Amino acid sequence: MAKRKAVVEIFSYGEYSKWDRESKSIPKILKFTTEIEAEIGTEFGYVLRIKNGKGKLLSFKIDHPPFTDDEGNVRPPFAGEQYIRTNDFEFYLGDCVWAPLEDKLGKWEIITYLETKIVAQKTFHLVRK
């Protein structure tokens, strides 16, 4: 019997309620948009719905405007991995704006891969609120 192919869809994208990283709950969509009116604490990104992907590896990259860490080094893009835990899986990928606001404004590109193939991609433009 052939394995069923995983199906990935962007369910929602834009600005979200504050996300509790310790919770299994996905944040609530506040506004569908790719232009984010940013202030400290603004949460943005997208939610994926994945069917038939249990056990497969999702990897992701968040490319952001150049900003520096505490030592003055330019931060590389954020990257990570997540195994799909169920055959009906929801996955939130995003970020929250932190101080200083000025160096977070600009283009943020969020890309998700399923076993090296791009399955979701959105570009957000953060502008001052």
For residue 95, what pLDDT is reported? 95
Instruction: Provide the whole-model pTM.
Output: 0.92
Going along the chain from its start, the domains and CATH numbers come out as 7-19+27-128 (2.60.40.2390)
pLDDT tens-digit profile of 57-106?
999 999 999 998 889 899 999 999 999 999 999 999 999 999 999 999 99
- Least confident stretch, 1-5, 100-104, 113-117: 1-5
Q: Which of 61-64's residues contact partners 24+ apart within 8 Å by CB, and which partners?
A: 61/109, 61/110, 61/111, 61/113, 62/93, 62/95, 62/108, 62/109, 62/110, 62/111, 63/108, 63/109, 63/110, 63/111, 64/95, 64/104, 64/106, 64/108
